[in-house]
Amino acid sequence: MIRTVDFRGRVLTKAQYKSELPRATLDVSQAMTLIAPILDRVAHGDEEDLFELAQEFDGVRPPSIRVPESALSDALANLAPEIRTALELSIDRIRLVHMNQIRSGKITDVAPGGTVTEKWIPVDRVGLYVPGGRAVYPSSVMMNVIPAQIAQVKSIAVASPPQKDFGGLPHPIILATCALLGITEVYAIGGAQAIALFAYGMENVCEKADMVTGPGNIYVAAAKRALRGIVGIDSEAGPTEIAILADESAIAADVAADLISQAEHDTIAAAVLVTTSPKLAQAVEAELKKRVPRTKHSQRITTALSGVQSAIALVDSLAQGIDVVNAYAAEHLEIQTQNARRDAEQIRNAGAVFVGRFSPVSLGDYSAGSNHVLPTGGCACHSSGLSVQTFLRGLHFIEYNEAAFREIIPTVITLANAEDLPAHGEAMSVRLELP
């Protein structure tokens, strides 16, 4: 069901580890070609084009592209009490964590009379995408909306695909979660066309956004890549992935269940176990064979676990295992070792790190308080997950008085002449000329 890669007795580079633990093939460039007509249609079309795209790709014509506020209120009123309670608890924890991400401004006195003030300014408007299809993701509503609200973004809109089963509206739990969070601007539109609507805007339908965030399929990722620059983006989210670093102290049933949980998302989801224990590896394989057939989405999970993107990797030591997982840079990394907290301190590259037996990825997906919109495809080597900072821009305010200005003039003129840009120097010296 899952292949084995043996790194024991081998010392490899970061690139070599990555090559032996490849991701699933995902041709975003080809998808960009396929979606180009959709982007053009939204850019130059009207609301009727959006209705036709919904019918074509979602199999239903929404009653309206913008969801009526009454539908949001009705969804919240009809939400099962136990789901509402679970959402409210998760919202509280996510808010608590993200409130600690607020950045304060700083004033730096660079010279007597010369200051540089850094302020953090929220973007004016964001479009938040919440996927639909195989599953419903109220968790993605929370993970996108809450950081944007804490950043004090003034205008927040949400888009989610229309559903045939719900009369062309997004899933009612999505609508109810928006209502819980006070979001009233929601659009029944999905895929590349949703990203294009936020990027370009459309008269009498939707105002252009400054930024788009949120996960989605390959066509959403392709639209983000194609429209980056027209609109800001958080990242191009790829298939979900989990890596687990484990030693002989890990419990095979826990490890197998966690691998299965991420494989449940998609046939190209990645599930990787890196372990020092051949005994654990064998026990995990046995657990997978026992548990996968009993799961609701067993066919999807089997395909994901048997793909090239999933593996059990055997290593000589935890030190080598840490090298492997740092090279792999998983979206989600679990540490299930005897000294999990100590070993976690050596992790440099991961979207989020889940430390110890009682911190599974599923906890972070919903209710830990952390954000689950995370870098995939090895991008955790250079990128972070979604946060309040995603929606903020650092802006410098420079203010010098005359004395500070006169003191620095020779330095600026010298550097301007060194770069053969004498007019830059003249823009300094002119201020000393008498009017």
Q: Strands 106-111, 114-122: parallel, antiparallel or unpaired by DSSP?
A: antiparallel
> 349 and 329 in contact (C-beta within 8 Å)?
yes
Copy the structure tokens of residue 215: 């996960």
> 1 and 285 in contact (C-beta within 8 Å)?
yes
Q: Which of 185, 241, 264, 331 is catalytic?
A: 331
331 catalytic? Reply is yes
Cβ burial, residue 296 (10 Å; 0-12/13-18/19+): exposed
Q: Any residues with CB less than 8 A from the CB of 207 and at least 6 apart, and which?
A: 125, 155, 157, 201
44 catalytic? Reply is no
> 183 and 156 in contact (C-beta within 8 Å)?
yes
Copy the structure tokens of residue 354: 């889940």
Q: Which of 265, 332, 334, 372 is catalytic?
A: 332
The set of catalytic residues is 331-332
